[in-house]
Structure formats: structure tokens, C-alpha cells
């Protein structure tokens, strides 16, 4: 998918260490709390982690709070008011996304995916992919 930011601000975030990212850690562990609690923070709940300020209860009935010693996502880059970004399958690369993209202000964004991307002319699509891949490489290089 490709996204065109018309207005607002988005942030590209990631964990400093892969071992701090609950998605990576939980991907190969059983969902039993004892198997992951010492290795990673409890994943955020709600849409895009919107309920981080609320304490929730797990199956054990105990309150869960994020493990402060296991890291938080850090902002690696920002895009303000205008810009274009995409998911990795747009290139097409089918692997884990290196960043979480989060709106840090109200945004207006346009989206094209699947069949819409196939309608983009070949030469134009190649140029867009080349530019977006360069942006992604620069973003990763800054890490």
C-alpha cells in the first residue's frame, strides 16, 4: 500500500532493540504470561496502543503495567504536512516492517493498495518505488 500525507504529522517509530519489541518476542513464545513476562513488556492495548494509560487485567486477574526496564518505542523520523510513504509489500518486499507509523496530530491521508496500485503506469510506479526505497534506506541509515 502507498499513502499520501496531505496534512498533519506522522512519526516513524521502532524499539531500540528487537528484544524490546513484544511482537517479535511473542511471535515464538506461548501466550502463557510466565513464558514472556521476564523478556518483554506487555503489548499495548487499544487501537495503536491508545489505552496505554489505563491499567488492564490479564487472565490471572493481576494488574499489568509496562516493564519500564524493557524499552519503549523511539521516534526515528517525522513527516509533516506533505509526503508519501508505503508498506514493504509495495516494493514488493515481504518481511517484517522496520517501523510503526503513528499519527502524532490529526492527519488527512490518502491510501492506494491492491488493485489501485496495479493501475499505476509501469514507468511511474518504478519511479515512485525508487524514491520511496531511497527514503526508507535513509531512515534506516539514521538508526
65-85 pLDDT, tens digit per residue, is: 455 555 788 899 999 999 999
2-38 pLDDT, tens digit per residue, is: 999 999 999 999 988 877 777 777 777 666 777 667 7
87, 97 contact by CB (below 8 A): yes
| Percentage of the chain exceeding pLDDT 90 | 45
Q: Is the peptide bond before 92 cis (omega within 30 degrees of 0)?
A: yes
Contacts 24+ apart (CB under 8 A), 78-82: 78/9, 78/10, 78/11, 78/12, 78/104, 79/5, 79/9, 79/10, 79/12, 80/8, 80/9, 81/5, 81/7, 81/8, 81/9, 82/5, 82/6, 82/7
pLDDT for the residue numbered 16: 82
Mean pLDDT of the chain: 80
Q: What's the pLDDT band for 58 if we cut at 50, 70, 90? A: very low
Amino acid at each position: 500500500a502507498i499513502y499520501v500525507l496531505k496534512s498533519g504529522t506522522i512519526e516513524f517509530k521502532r524499539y531500540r532493540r528487537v528484544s524490546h519489541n513484544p511482537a517479535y518476542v511473542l511471535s515464538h513464545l506461548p501466550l502463557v504470561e510466565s513464558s514472556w513476562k521476564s523478556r518483554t513488556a506487555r503489548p499495548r492495548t487499544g487501537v495503536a496502543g491508545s489505552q496505554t494509560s489505563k491499567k488492564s487485567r490479564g487472565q490471572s486477574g493481576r494488574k499489568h503495567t509496562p516493564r519500564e526496564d524493557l524499552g519503549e518505542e523511539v521516534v526515528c523520523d517525522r513527516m509533516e504536512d506533505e509526503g508519501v510513504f508505503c508498506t514493504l509489500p509495495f516494493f514488493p518486499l515481504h518481511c517484517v516492517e522496520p517501523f510503526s507509523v503513528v499519527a502524532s496530530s490529526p492527519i488527512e491521508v490518502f491510501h492506494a493498495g491492491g488493485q489501485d496500485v496495479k493501475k499505476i503506469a509501469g514507468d511511474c510506479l518504478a519511479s515512485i518505488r525508487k524514491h520511496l526505497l531511497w527514503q526508507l534506506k535513509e531512515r534506516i541509515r539514521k538508526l
